């Protein structure tokens, strides 16, 4: 049997990793400034993470959600403490799309309505409702296309006012749009969304799948602003590579047995991974590091003549060049051994390193950029 060929692959196979470093099977070292798509939060193979997960596996790796699991309770408690959402409850699942799917489902259960308002260029995942709220017709199959979704332009207050009415179950927006190319909703836009959702009894959902877990210097990106969503979703950095995701749910939602469910969500290994991530983020002050290293990287990027604009916050950064960056990204990878990311905006280079990245590691990128951009003049 062959693999179903849906991923364009680089001819590189990492076989070992530590912190922000990767090694391929020939022993070549790489610097990882992409974190496998914002997933690596506390650093690859963090010793505490390895020890905790190995120990947990030696005890019990999995049992279904039909029995008590005190690790889940401990995780909910710690999530409340680190995020400040003490009075919210936590639903555990395994992927970002699944978290958003459940968020949309909760909005619909709660309101008895179907329609969702989403934002242009959004990415919310590939399952049924999540992909329907994703603004990319290429990945929406006819089966997914029957959901009632209206897209509005980011930061368009008038469009928001027209779209959110008594027919709407919920409004979903990313803390910072990642896949699109690092676009942050304005505080006015989010405040207006919250106000309209309240007025029309619709549900305000923040997708922090990529921007959460401390990446922007606060636990959630929206916490740089004065808003309080009804539902928040989190995945990627939450498990540092172990598939675990969650939905933060305001006390106004009433659960009933069977309302939501999943086989793998919140299993013992997943909880051990997520608990270790929270502990290491606190012990090593990684949100502070994300803030400091993010400011440093942004300052250096802004000073590059070919960089038109730098967007994002903390260690969720997009640098928009005045030319398409596909070749630059390849040179960074193959000639300088540095992993970076791309975005739907073809001129935007994406940086999503581990929250423990150092200044010396970031400097490697700036040295490489100096070499690569030496002979590139602005068009
Ligand atoms: N939401 C956002 C903002 C994302 O960036 C992603 C993935 O890139 C998802 C949802 C989907 O997450 P997953 O691939 O874990 O299903």
Cβ(123) – ligand 1 distance below 6 Å: yes
**Region for 181 from its dihedrals, namely left if φ exceeds 0, alpha if ψ lies in -120 to 50, beta otherwise:** left
Q: Are residues 212 and 327 in the same domain?
A: no
Q: Which domain holds residue 42?
A: 14-46+285-373
Q: Is the per-residue pLDDT at 160 higher than 80?
A: yes
pLDDT of residue 312: 98
Q: Give me the residue label for tokens 């970076």.
A: 340
Q: Are residues 227 and 181 in the same domain?
A: yes
Burial 259-281 (b: 16+ CB within 10 A, else e): ebebebbbbbbbbbbbbbbbbbb
Tell me which of 236, 291, 313, 337 is the catalytic residue. 236
Taking the C-alpha atoms of residue 153 and residue 344, their distance in angstroms, rounded to an integer, is: 16
| C-beta of residue 236 within 8 angstroms of C-beta of residue 96 | yes
Asked if residue 5 belongs to a domain, the reply is no
Pick from 45-49, 98-102, 140-144: least confident: 140-144
* Residue 123 appears among annotated catalytic residues: yes
| C-beta of residue 311 within 8 angstroms of C-beta of residue 320 | yes
Asked if residue 224 belongs to a domain, the reply is yes
Q: Are residues 349 and 231 in the same domain?
A: no
Q: Are residues 278 and 145 in the same domain?
A: yes
Percent of the chain with pLDDT over 90: 98
Q: Are residues 237 and 326 in the same domain?
A: no
284-300 pLDDT, tens digit per residue, is: 999 999 999 999 999 99
pLDDT of residue 269: 98
Q: Are residues 18 and 31 in the same domain?
A: yes
Q: Is the per-residue pLDDT at 159 higher than 80?
A: yes
Most informative mutation of 34, 125, 184, 312 for ligand 1 (most atoms within 8 A of CB): 125
Q: Is the per-residue pLDDT at 69 higher than 80?
A: yes
Name the domain count of the chain: 2
pLDDT of residue 40: 98
Cβ(97) – ligand 1 distance below 6 Å: yes
pLDDT of residue 270: 98
**Beta bridge partners of residue 18, listed in sequence order:** 21
Looking at residues 273-290, what average pLDDT do you find? 98
> What CATH number does the domain containing 312 carry?
3.90.1150.10
Q: What does the DSSP assignment read for 121-163?
A: T----SSHHHHHTSS-GGG--GGGTTS-EEEE-TT-HHHHHHH
* CB-CB neighbours of 97 under 10 Å: 23
* Residue 165 appears among annotated catalytic residues: no
pLDDT of residue 151: 98
The last residue of one of the domains, among 248, 283, 318, is 283
Q: Are residues 118 and 202 in the same domain?
A: yes
Between strands 245-249 and 231-234, the pairing is antiparallel
Looking at residues 364-369, what average pLDDT do you find? 98
Which residue CA neighbors atom 1 of ligand 1 most closely?
124
Looking at residues 157-183, what average pLDDT do you find? 98
Give the pLDDT band (50/70/90) at residue 375.
Answer: confident
pLDDT of residue 379: 63
Determine phi and psi for 28, rounding to 5 degrees: -70, 135
Q: Is the per-residue pLDDT at 378 higher than 90?
A: no
Q: What does the DSSP assignment read for 250-296?
A: -TTSPP-TTSS--SSTT-HHHHHHHHHHHHHHHHTTHHHHHHHHHHH
Q: Is 323 exposed, middle or buried (0-12, 13-18, 19+ CB in 10 A)?
A: middle
Looking at residues 31-37, what average pLDDT do you find? 97
Q: Are residues 30 and 95 in the same domain?
A: no
Percent of the chain with pLDDT over 70: 99
Tell me which of 21, 32, 115, 123 is the catalytic residue. 123
Query: Three-state SS for 248?
Result: strand
Taking the C-alpha atoms of residue 245 and residue 225, their distance in angstroms, rounded to an integer, is: 23
Looking at residues 217-227, what average pLDDT do you find? 98
Q: Are residues 297 and 308 in the same domain?
A: yes
Taking the C-alpha atoms of residue 64 and residue 49, their distance in angstroms, rounded to an integer, is: 23
Q: Are residues 66 and 152 in the same domain?
A: yes
Supply angle C-alpha 268, 274, 277, rounded to 5. 140
104-152 pLDDT, tens digit per residue, is: 999 999 999 999 999 999 999 999 999 999 999 999 999 998 999 999 9
Kindly report the pTM of this predicted structure.
Answer: 0.98
Average pLDDT, the chain: 97
> What CATH number does the domain containing 137 carry?
3.40.640.10
Q: Are residues 197 and 332 in the same domain?
A: no
Most informative mutation of 101, 236, 242 for ligand 1 (most atoms within 8 A of CB): 236
Query: CA 315 from chain center: how many Å?
Result: 11
Asked if residue 223 belongs to a domain, the reply is yes
Q: Are residues 59 and 75 in the same domain?
A: yes
């Amino acid at each position: 049997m062959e693999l179903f060929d849906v991923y364009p692959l680089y001819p590189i196979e990492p076989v070992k990793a530590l912190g922000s470093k990767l090694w391929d099977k020939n022993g070549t070292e790489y610097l990882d400034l992409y974190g496998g798509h914002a997933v690596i939060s506390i650093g690859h193979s963090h010793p505490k993470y390895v020890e905790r997960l190995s120990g947990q596996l030696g005890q019990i790796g999995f049992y279904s959600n039909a029995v008590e699991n005190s690790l889940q309770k401990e995780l909910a408690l710690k999530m409340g403490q680190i995020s400040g959402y003490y009075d919210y409850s936590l639903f555990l699942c395994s992927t970002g799309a699944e978290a958003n799917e459940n968020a949309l489902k909760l909005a619909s259960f709660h309101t008895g309505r179907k329609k969702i308002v989403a934002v242009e260029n959004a990415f919310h995942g590939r399952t049924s409702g999540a992909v329907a709220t994703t603004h990319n017709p290429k990945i929406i199959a006819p089966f997914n296309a029957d959901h009632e979704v209206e897209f509005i332009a980011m930061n368009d207050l008038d469009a928001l006012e027209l779209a959110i009415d008594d027919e709407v179950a919920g409004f979903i927006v990313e803390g910072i749009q990642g896949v699109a190319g690092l676009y942050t909703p304005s505080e006015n836009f989010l405040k207006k969304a919250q106000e309209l959702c309240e007025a029309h009894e619709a549900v305000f959902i923040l997708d922090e799948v990529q921007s959460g877990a401390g990446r922007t210097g606060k636990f959630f990106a929206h916490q740089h602003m004065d808003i309080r969503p009804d539902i928040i979703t989190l995945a990627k950095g939450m498990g540092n590579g172990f598939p675990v995701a969650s939905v933060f749910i305001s006390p106004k939602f009433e659960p009933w047995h069977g309302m939501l469910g999943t086989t793998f969500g919140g299993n013992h290994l997943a909880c051990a991974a997520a608990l270790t991530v929270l502990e290491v983020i606190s012990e090593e002050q990684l949100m502070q590091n994300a803030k400091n290293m993010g400011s440093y990287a942004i300052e250096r990027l802004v000073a590059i003549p070919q960089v038109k604009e730098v967007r994002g916050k903390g260690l969720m950064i997009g640098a928009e060049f005045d030319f398409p960056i596909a070749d630059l990204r390849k040179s960074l990878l193959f000639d300088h051994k540095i992993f970076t990311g791309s975005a739907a905006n073809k001129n935007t280079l994406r940086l999503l390193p581990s929250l423990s990245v150092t200044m010396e590691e970031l400097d490697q990128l700036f040295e490489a950029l100096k070499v690569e951009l030496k002979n590139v003049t602005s068009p």
